[in-house]
């Protein structure tokens, strides 16, 4: 799905194929797809499912976005998403490949949480107060029910509007001199926030929303490209 079906019959073009919002920053820089890049994409899909937001649907999918992703920009995480799941999503998004979980680690952790929730439910909530994931999922379900209860029919079309230059089909991408991938300071503070209540941790998602509003001028873009020439591996 990351290249043309008739690749063998066509002239190989410089660049890489994919859907920009789901691609790991190192892939955007021209590196080959790896299992770690798939884990990054899994984190994007996981957040899309939980936050009910299509990644970067309101901005053009161009070189400006590719630069922002390499500089640490990530999709908005809904403040309703359970903290443990938020931490896992952000870990999948880490700019450093070695810091991302493996598929085996993802499977083992998600299965552990699933079994824990399933067991507590089967015991009529016994020991539910002692389970972080159980408590957070139950809070998430309550918030979702209220959200859907209060959502009017007129509100639904607006949430699915996309920018005319937002593309969600695989295409050839060939960006030059993208900066070395780094993690956003906003994401780091969000991920490693202290263990207070679930509600307090959830509201710290606002900095992520704010970083989506960053607009780079053409002058700033040129400065970033010039700086990146000294950081390219």
In which residue are the tokens 């403040």 written?
79
Output DSSP code: residue 101: P
3-state helix, strand, coil in the chain (%, to 5): 55, 5, 40
Closest CA to 88 of 141, 26, 46: 46
Domain assignment present for residue 218? The answer is no
Percentage of residues of the chain with pLDDT beyond 70: 67
Domain that holds residue 102: 16-153+164-183
DSSP structure class, residue 14: S
Q: Is residue 57 part of a domain?
A: yes
CA distance 170 to 1: 7
The percent of residues in the chain predicted with pLDDT above 90, rounded, is 45
The four Cα atoms 111, 117, 120, 121 give a dihedral, to 10 degrees, of -120
CB distance 148 to 142 below 8 Å: no
* pLDDT (tens digit per residue) in 145-183: 887 777 655 555 455 688 999 999 989 999 999 999 999
pLDDT, residue 193, reads: 39
pTM, to two decimals? 0.72
Selected residue with higher pLDDT from 76 and 189:
76
pLDDT of residue 85: 94
The pLDDT of residue 153 is 52
- Is 216 among the domain residues? no
Per-residue pLDDT tens for 176-232? 999 999 998 877 555 443 333 333 333 333 333 333 333 344 444 455 445 444 444
Residue with the larger pLDDT of the pair 192 and 22? 22
- As for how many domains the chain has, the answer is 1
pLDDT at residue 36 is higher than 70 = yes
User: Residue 44: is its pLDDT beyond 60?
Assistant: yes
Whether 8 maps to a domain, the answer reads no
Q: Is residue 104 part of a domain?
A: yes
* Segment 103-125 mean pLDDT: 86
Helices 103-122, 132-150: crossing angle, 10 deg rounding: 80
- Residue 54 lies inside a defined structural domain of this protein: yes
Write down the pLDDT at residue 216. 42
Specify the pLDDT at position 5: 56
Q: What CATH number has the domain bearing residue 54?
A: 1.10.510.10
Are 3 and 17 within 8 A, CB to CB? yes
């Amino acid at each position: 799905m990351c290249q043309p079906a008739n690749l063998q019959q066509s002239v190989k073009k410089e660049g890489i194929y994919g859907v920009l919002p789901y691609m790991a920053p190192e892939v955007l820089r021209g590196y080959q797809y790896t299992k770690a890049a798939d884990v990054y994409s899994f984190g994007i899909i996981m957040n899309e499912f939980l936050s009910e937001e299509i990644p970067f649907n309101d901005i053009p999918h161009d070189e400006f976005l590719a630069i922002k992703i390499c500089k640490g920009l990530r999709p908005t995480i809904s403040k309703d998403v359970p903290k443990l799941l938020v931490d896992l999503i952000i870990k999948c998004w880490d700019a450093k490949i070695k810091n991302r979980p493996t598929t085996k680690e993802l499977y083992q952790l998600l299965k552990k949480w699933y079994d824990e929730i399933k067991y507590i439910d089967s015991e009529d909530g016994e020991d539910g107060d002692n389970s972080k994931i159980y408590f957070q999922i139950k809070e998430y379900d309550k918030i979702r029910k209220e959200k859907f209860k209060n959502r009017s029919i007129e509100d639904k079309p607006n949430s699915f509007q996309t920018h005319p230059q937002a593309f969600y089909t695989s295409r050839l991408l060939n960006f030059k001199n993208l900066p070395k991938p780094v993690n956003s300071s906003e994401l780091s503070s969000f991920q490693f926030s202290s263990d207070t209540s679930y509600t307090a941790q959830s509201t710290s998602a606002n900095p992520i929303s704010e970083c989506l509003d960053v607009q780079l001028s053409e002058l700033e873009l040129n400065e970033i490209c010039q700086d990146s020439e000294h950081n390219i591996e």
